[in-house]
Structure 1
Amino acid sequence: MAGDRAAVGGREAWRVEVSGTVQGVGFRPFVYRTATALGLDGWVRNVDGHVLAAAAGTPGGLREFVARCRDQAPPLAVVAEVTVGQLDPGAVVPGSGFAVLDSVGAGEPSVREVPVDAAVCAECLRELFDPADRRHRYPFTNCTACGPRATVITDLPYDRERTTMRDFPLCAACAAQYADPQDRRFHAEPLACPDCGPRLSWWSPASTRGGEEALRAAVRALIDGAVVAVKGVGGYQLVCDATSDRAVAGLRRRKRRPDKPFAVLVPDLDAALRLARLGDAERALLASAARPVTLVPARGRSSGVAAGVHPGTGRVGVLLPASPLHHLLSRDVGRPLVCTSGNLAGEPIVIDDAEARERLGPVADGFLGHDRAIHSRCDDSVVCATDRGVLTVRRARGYAPAPLRLPLPSPVPLVAVGAQLKHTFTLVSGDRAVIGPHLGDLQDAGTADAFERAYGQLSRLCRIDPQVVVHDLHPGYLSTQWAARWPAGRRVAVQHHHAHVAACAAEHGLPGPFVGVALDGLGFGDDGTLWGGEVLVCDLAGYRRAGRFATAPLPGGAAAVRAPGRMALGYLLGAEDLGSPAADPALVDAYASGLGDGEARAVREVVERGVNCPRASSAGRLFDAAASILGLRHRVSYEGQAAVALEAAAGDLRPEPLPWRLVRAADGVWVYDPLPTLTALLRGSADGVPVPCLAAAFHSAVALATAGLVERAVAEGAPGPVCLSGGCFQNLRLLDEVSGRLRGAGLRVLVGRAVPPNDGGVSFGQAAVAAARLGRETP
């Protein structure tokens, strides 16, 4: 704040600039009402991505004004900084009152923040179901406290003409609300009503409808067991009756998604309680403005949903309506609805109407659409509650692209392009990191195109022009190949597991040093081999490997990821020789016979010959092997399916752990030898020990071995805080046991909350590492 200010009759004038997420969240109306209540003169306007105000009055009134701007902002706002400067008192005419001015550009580069989409608020919901209200049953009602933001904004500053709502001129009644500073729809940019806003449409091979009739047609189709493609907030969704075995099975067959669990849409918390067991944390997540899919313990058969909704897991993904349309649909159908991404397996979610008809035509029996365009695709977010906070599985609608802070600023703007699976990218300017929404798996060409489009849109909106690209070491990733187009001097390569643990550390504001534990499927190591069970001693700029899981061959290479049976034989026949006795050949033969003679013979041959058998120190593949040995999954249709089944089988049982062993390798690195664990698992299975007991004992053994690797690193001088990351830590039982053991040893344990521990968080970790390295290199 400026020092001495000239004053006239005790009156001063201040320039107040507020940065953060302050556009599209009702901040200007809030400033207007605050200033008016305090008797201040002046004005407020959007300037690029910030809010700028000139306010004049008594020093006490101005101090209170600034304090309220900082501490009492609207619920959707995130105030990053309030800067106060001096103005000539004559710049604001005494007695002129306070006004809201048109938005302007700043005329100079500055990073801009894009507001996130917010679920319909309580006031708009009340109007939606009030027969006397002019917006009764209008599917696009919103105000400054709710509605689409990131998905409809085409440019900043945030005004109606820079959204996809520019095609809908306001009627007289809406224009009056839009212009009234005392109305909660004052400058609500997506403002609409039945007279001037978007309209629903229904299309099926048998009929077309518009408006309320379109909604009725969709409701009838869902009740009759059809699959309906619904145009949601951030893209199309595929919806069907979650209580119908036939409807769910039909959706799975058409979408080519045989096993992966579906999310279930219910109208309110009471309905959610009939499906699942909810604690206070789960209720708060479900009802939050982000409206994420929340993974919760299912009630089983008593829930009434079809068995095919979430096979192989005791958790079900539940979500409450994020938009008025979803409220209407859910209540009118009157039963739980499957609500899943509008795409085919591996493809990005569809946002274009014509493309939806083409791509989803073989899946959907009808289309419930509308004429409000979606500018930026954004899938549903997925979260779960743990004993110590929220764990984000997918960061998308409602959370992205809200920025996060890096502990160390980058000296140049950069983009980190993430990994291959669960792809995200992160833009950085200074210490601000903007993680783009989840896009899908870059193995699909459509997802690669979606990445290009999303990168162009978000970098322009945020006004971040990257000078450096940050990428994974794996040469086969499409993200790495995209980065290779950049000049060599503007590329930074970051090891996959260092990025994982760096993401956790950076989210907690920790530049280092720390111990990082990365347990996941596969990542390219800096020695050219495949890693996946790693204990690293780190800071953000670098690391050394202090511990790891033993290696085993991946019979058939990448094909082993889909075949846990192959992985089990890989461990039993070819695990790294660390001195443990080999598994009983008779037991191995008995297990192999269950895979089929052809499969077992082929695996034995490639393991013995060492052909197409890359070795990996992968925690994820170890879980696959255990699941197969127990007969839970010999093949999988989606990543992590075997581990999900293993976690579900373990339940809450607490048996004695299976044997585990740590060995110091020749290079000084401590190694977890899983062969004693797996051979005990094989013996227990042959002896008829119940599968749940063995699954739980396996979890405990892996958790104790992991904690043991960390404890040995700390005993040899590694620094205290421990960051846990990698997709295996979505297994809540493993997370609880590892973190509990480490906390019991007196260590501080950190887990990512806003940033996913899976590959969706890799780009944020890459960005943090690159910022630290570039900062060290800059004089």
Structure 2
Amino acid sequence: MTMERGERDAPLRAAECIRVRGLVQGVGFRPFVHALAQRLQLAGSVHNDSEGVLIHVAGQAAAIDALVTAIRDEPPALAHVASIERALWSAPSGLVTFAIAASPAEHGGRHTAGVVPDARICAACESEIDTPGERRYRYAFASCTACGPRFSIIDAIPYDRPNTTMRDFPLCAPCRGEYESPVDRRFHAQPIACPECGPRLWIENPDGVRVASDDPLAAAVEALRQGQILALKGLGGFHLACDAGNGAAVEALRARKRRPAKPFALMAPDLANIRKFCRVDPCEAALLASPAAPIVLLEWLNREGLAAAVAPNQALLGFMLPTTPLHHLLLGEFGGALVMTSGNVSGEPQVIDNADAQRKLGGFADSFLMHDRRIARRLDDSVARVVSGEPRLLRHARGYAPAPRRLPPGFASAPPVLALGGEMKAAICLTRNNEALLSHHLGDLEEPLTYREFVRAIDDYAQLFDHRPALLAADLHPAYRSSAWAEQAAAERDLPLARVQHHHAHIAAAMAERAWPRDCGRVVGIALDGIGYGRDGTVWGGEILLCDYMDFTRMARLKPVPLPGGARAVTQPWRNLLAQLDAAFGIDGTAAYMPTLPGGAILAGQQLGVLRQAMARGLNSPLSSSCGRLFDAVAAALALSPAQLSFEGEAAMALEALASNSVDTRCYPFSVDTATLPWSIDPAPMWRALLEDLRDGVPIADIAARFHFGLAEAFCDAALRIAKANDAQAIALGGGVFQNGLLLQACLTRLTASSLPVLSPAQIPANDGGLAFGQAIIAAARALA
């Protein structure tokens, strides 16, 4: 980029105003532009504003072209350039320097700048805090333009220190010098701080009393080594931590949180430590070490050195690397793996406030490691796994939200939409300026405090991004709290409301993520899910849809069976087993098979006659084609689930874990009745084969695997037949059951053998966490029609 001598002496020949949009604030973009301009002998300025970054530049035309090329092709690591707009500019006479200018005061303009997600501590900051003699040695809040808090500390756009929670910490002279030095990696790094002027740590006991300590980090490490449970204030909220190798500590945490079986997330100091326990392939290693640093589900190989209670009956462990300097120092000094689970009361949002932590976590924790940097909004840890060589997000939160995603071709002129998602794994989605912003994970809206957080997030995103929707989108379900909010808001604001069928939204989310154009024809969608309200008033969940962004036709579905007890069938898998067996074999057949079932004892202890009468009369027993409930029934048959689940997905996760221990790839049969639409995919033959295998002593791991592969074969083959008959242009996958890596891989293997593109979820969760994204796309398409 350096100018030749002859060019350097040439007079100014051009002047431009350059607008850069995208994720360009809080990533060192202005220092990057400043350095480029200096090397290219350009004059002018760069500043943040509500639309992104604005550059005024004067110099040789070739140098300005080189500047724009570098901005487009070589931006800072955390930046994402969405667009660059160039216009002529009348440069003032005598302009000879290039400067970073202060952000201008805003006067009623629309905020269109993006906000960068929080980023894991970078290697340079790690080295600095590990090196004796450095000014920030063992400082828990070091950061620079390449790492550190962003979304968790910002209150307003543009991203400048006065608009963040770091405004509580005036800079000392050395930090001010770094902040203002163009050659320093903290040049205009808004979270800049040091031990003299920045946030500080301290230890408290469960009574809220500060514990005298010259070294809170060392005290916290000692508490962990003694088997204590530590409440730790992190980036987007509190964690509860304990020694993952100390069985008594892990069991105590389970007992105190009343969390008997749900796997705990783990944090290890480095990849080498994770590899002591898990297989980590190159894609998984890159994901762990990425700026987003999610929890990554990994194959659990070596069980020595970890308490079995960290993940009972699981084949996968959820590991993450240290995300902040505080975590890096804590894990480095501890020297091993820690449980690092969300600090919350069961069902409630993660705690972010110091006083709330003492009030709500005092019964869980023996010690509190506190700090005084305020958290602007709570952010759970993101969760991902790698399937078919590609990272797949299961929870979209810290490190990913609120990065914008460009809308597919054909949506550029769509009006702004606010989509409200579903009831479980709630998230909202905004669309504007040809991009979508999917919010961070908010939780399950059945809990009143989570619903309050959901409403707060709607206001928060609206204000932060200056979003004024022209229409709203919500689920069809008449009782979802998100839909009720949408109905009320639509009436109060006089806005149209698009009601979107649950599984259509799942498929549209996969289509849009893979940039399927609006006018590119219909796709066949395989939606495998727990429950979703259908157009016919029944509960759907195992569907094949022929659809575009506008509408769909239900082409096939699992044969519906009752959900005995309604919502109770979601948490008591034996109810689904009874309904499935009765549907396949009748009451007498079920009675004959029950003694041979590993899970038959739980069934035998229930009041089956009462339930059967309710199913026969349709009392609190809605018909359902749910694939998730079929998984629950198979898990119950194999005695893999308790009578009452302790967390969502417990039975299905146990079934996948068992199946992953098998090398058997045979498929159980399903029958397909094509006489009328929708086709009926009947699992009765599968049940017959499964019961015969149990009678013959086939290992239950092989039985679990054959169920997975049989289900994949039945749905994929039916989908391909439907696609061929209807000239569909692609196959799309969606729904929470596709969190199951074994099933997803089986479907991808089977479908990619055809000539059709396969649109599968990756950065947008397949579960209800991605529902709002699909709703927003469908509402936008209808508005454009």
Q: Which residue of 2 aligns with 1:437?
A: 440
Tell me whether 456-465 or 608-617 shows the greater mean CA deviation: 608-617
1:66-107, CA deviations, whole angstroms, 9 ceiling, x for partnerless residues? 11111111000000011111012x42634x211110012454
Say yes or no: does 1:223 pair with 2:225: yes
TM-score, structure 2 as length reference? 0.94
Say yes or no: does 1:494 pair with 2:494: no
Say yes or no: does 1:415 pair with 2:425: no
2:723 to 714, 739, 744: 714
1:658-702, CA deviations, whole angstroms, 9 ceiling, x for partnerless residues? 222111254x22121011112221232233221011111111111
Q: Residues 148-163 of structure 1: matches in 2 within 5 Å?
A: 148-163=149-164
Q: Which residue of 1 aligns with 2:390?
A: 389
Q: Which residue of 2 aligns with 1:689?
A: 698
Aligned-pair CA distance for 1:144: 0.8
Q: Which residue of 2 aligns with 1:623?
A: 631
1:288 to 268, 287, 290: 290
**Structure 1 residues 212 and 189: CA distance shift in structure 2, 3 A:** farther
Counterpart CA distance in 1 for 2:288 and 2:580 is 41
Say yes or no: does 1:730 pair with 2:755: no
Say yes or no: does 1:515 pair with 2:518: no
Instruction: Read off the aligned partner of 1:417 and give its amino acid letter.
Output: L
Say yes or no: does 1:373 pair with 2:374: yes
Q: Which residue of 2 aligns with 1:130?
A: 131
Q: Which residue of 2 aligns with 1:21?
A: 23
**Structure 1 residues 676 and 543: CA distance shift in structure 2, 3 A:** same
Instruction: Read off the aligned partner of 1:494 and give its amino acid letter.
Output: V
Q: Which residue of 1 aligns with 2:461?
A: 458
**Structure 1 residues 572 and 111: CA distance shift in structure 2, 3 A:** same
2:565 to 551, 556, 570: 556
**Structure 1 residues 583 and 661: CA distance shift in structure 2, 3 A:** farther
Q: Which residue of 2 aligns with 1:659?
A: 669
User: Any idea what SS the aligned residue of 2:415 has?
Assistant: strand
User: Any idea what SS the aligned residue of 1:326 has?
Assistant: helix
Aligned-pair CA distance for 1:709: 1.7
Aligned partners of 1:381 and 1:394 also within 8 Å: yes
Q: Which residue of 2 aligns with 1:4?
A: none
1:595-623, CA deviations, whole angstroms, 9 ceiling, x for partnerless residues? 34334444334334432111100111111
Counterpart CA distance in 1 for 2:413 and 2:252 is 50
User: Any idea what SS the aligned residue of 2:326 has?
Assistant: helix
Counterpart CA distance in 1 for 2:695 and 2:642 is 17
Aligned partners of 1:410 and 1:772 also within 8 Å: no
1:254-278, CA deviations, whole angstroms, 9 ceiling, x for partnerless residues? 1122111111100011111112100
Aligned partners of 2:205 and 2:211 also within 8 Å: no
Tell me whether 100-109 or 24-33 shows the greater mean CA deviation: 100-109
Aligned partners of 2:686 and 2:707 also within 8 Å: yes
* Count of residues in Structure 1 that have an aligned counterpart in Structure 2: 762
Counterpart CA distance in 1 for 2:149 and 2:120 is 8
**Structure 1 residues 584 and 231: CA distance shift in structure 2, 3 A:** closer
1:469 to 472, 479, 483: 472
Counterpart CA distance in 2 for 1:701 and 1:602 is 33
Structure 1's unaligned 5+ residue stretches are 1-7
Q: Residues 321-340 of structure 1: matches in 2 within 5 Å?
A: 321-340=322-341
Q: Which residue of 1 aligns with 2:593?
A: 587
Instruction: Read off the aligned partner of 1:724 and give its amino acid letter.
Output: L
1:186-241, CA deviations, whole angstroms, 9 ceiling, x for partnerless residues? 11111100000010121114762377522222212111111111111001111111
Counterpart CA distance in 2 for 1:581 and 1:65 is 76
Counterpart CA distance in 2 for 1:467 and 1:555 is 41
User: Any idea what SS the aligned residue of 1:486 has?
Assistant: helix
Aligned-pair CA distance for 1:718: 4.2
Aligned-pair CA distance for 1:112: 2.3
Counterpart CA distance in 2 for 1:211 and 1:622 is 55
User: Any idea what SS the aligned residue of 2:187 has?
Assistant: coil
TM-score, structure 1 as length reference? 0.95
User: Any idea what SS the aligned residue of 1:492 has?
Assistant: strand
Counterpart CA distance in 1 for 2:156 and 2:316 is 40
Q: Residues 574-613 of structure 1: matches in 2 within 5 Å?
A: 574=583, 583=589, 585-588=591-594, 590-591=596-597, 592-613=600-621
Aligned-pair CA distance for 1:582: 8.5
**Structure 1 residues 648 and 159: CA distance shift in structure 2, 3 A:** same
Say yes or no: does 1:670 pair with 2:671: no
Aligned-pair CA distance for 1:630: 1.3
Instruction: Read off the aligned partner of 1:469 and give its amino acid letter.
Output: L
Q: Which residue of 1 aligns with 2:79?
A: 77
Aligned-pair CA distance for 1:720: 2.4
Aligned partners of 2:142 and 2:193 also within 8 Å: yes
Counterpart CA distance in 2 for 1:281 and 1:624 is 31
**Structure 1 residues 419 and 768: CA distance shift in structure 2, 3 A:** same
Instruction: Read off the aligned partner of 2:94 and give its amino acid letter.
Output: V
Aligned partners of 1:671 and 1:709 also within 8 Å: no
Aligned partners of 2:57 and 2:64 also within 8 Å: yes
1:155-182, CA deviations, whole angstroms, 9 ceiling, x for partnerless residues? 1111111100101010010011111111
Q: Which residue of 2 aligns with 1:100?
A: 100
Counterpart CA distance in 2 for 1:135 and 1:92 is 44
1:756 to 748, 754, 765: 765
1:482 to 479, 485, 493: 485
**Structure 1 residues 93 and 514: CA distance shift in structure 2, 3 A:** farther
Q: Which residue of 2 aligns with 1:363?
A: 364
Say yes or no: does 1:700 pair with 2:709: yes
User: Any idea what SS the aligned residue of 1:148 has?
Assistant: coil
Instruction: Read off the aligned partner of 1:103 and give its amino acid letter.
Output: S
Aligned-pair CA distance for 1:486: 2.2
Structure 2's unaligned 5+ residue stretches are 1-9
Aligned partners of 1:112 and 1:461 also within 8 Å: no
User: Any idea what SS the aligned residue of 2:745 has?
Assistant: helix
Counterpart CA distance in 2 for 1:280 and 1:185 is 31
Q: Which residue of 2 aligns with 1:255?
A: 257
User: Any idea what SS the aligned residue of 1:762 has?
Assistant: helix
Instruction: Read off the aligned partner of 1:18 and give its amino acid letter.
Output: V
User: Any idea what SS the aligned residue of 1:534 has?
Assistant: strand
